[in-house]
Amino acid sequence: MQSTTAQQLVTQLQHLGITDDRVLAAIANVPRQYFVDEAIAHQAWENTALPIGFGQTISQPYIVALMTEELIRHSPQSVLEVGTGSGYQTAVLAQLIPHVFSVERIKSLQYQARRRLQRLDFHNVAMRHGDGWAGWKSKAPFDAIIVTAAAETIPASLLDQLADGGRMIIPVGEQNQELLLIEKIGNRTRKEVLGAVRFVPLIPGELI
């Protein structure tokens, strides 16, 4: 059996409604096989989530594309990503947004992601081992925030660190999760539900 290629994945994403050519090109340009274990590398271009160890997953390419498409509508100059994981979503963002900041609570995943991005020559990414629930205060405000793990509630610290006019994409909920798009307009926020999703939980506090 032949494995799915980058072009086939792009075609699938187009059929699912992804229209932004910049996003499709960014996805086609990231060798997803580098972000998973060699044993499952043949599945890397499939439109599915895959395990990355520690009970975590690299997100489904369609979800990565959807979140990225919504996030870059206002041409953000900076983005905070909470939940680096494999660094795959980070690599997609790094091609579209000038300054990328990414926080991960599992040291070993953070270390591997950093090495992958260095190897692929992405130099506009700053990474940190830390609790993303608290954001990254010294680098705030961010024009965009993307959370790649499901939060029980919207973390107030992340809303604080979002720039005026900025956009945050975050899955919220436990069993039934919704992907929310939150826009900050002065002291107000506008919320839109983008759809039902299934992410691993965002775990506040303790690091490993």
Near ligand SAH by CB under 6 A: residue from 89, 112, 161, 177: 89
Task: Rule CB under 6 A: say whether 204 interacts with ligand SAH.
Answer: yes
Per the annotation, the verdict on 59 as an active-site residue is yes
Q: Is the Cβ–Cβ distance between 100 and 198 less than 8 Å?
A: no
Q: Which of 115, 81, 91 is nearest to 25 (CA)?
A: 91
CA 31 to chain centre: 16
Q: How far apart, in whole angstroms, are the C-alpha atoms of residue 17 and residue 31?
A: 22
Near ligand SAH by CB under 6 A: residue from 68, 78, 112, 148: 148
Task: Rule CB under 6 A: say whether 57 interacts with ligand SAH.
Answer: yes
Is there a cis peptide before residue 141, judged by omega within 30 degrees of 0? Answer: yes
Compute the least distance from the CB of residue 97 to ligand SAH, in Å.
Answer: 14
Residues in contact with 99: Cβ distance below 8 Å, sequence separation at least 6, in sequence order: 77, 78, 79, 124, 126
State the catalytic residue, choosing from 3, 59, 86, 108.
Answer: 59
Task: Rule CB under 6 A: say whether 53 interacts with ligand SAH.
Answer: no
Which residues are identified as catalytic? Answer: 59
Binding site for ligand SAH (CB under 6 A): 52, 56-59, 82-83, 85-86, 88-89, 103-106, 109, 131-133, 148-149, 200, 202-204
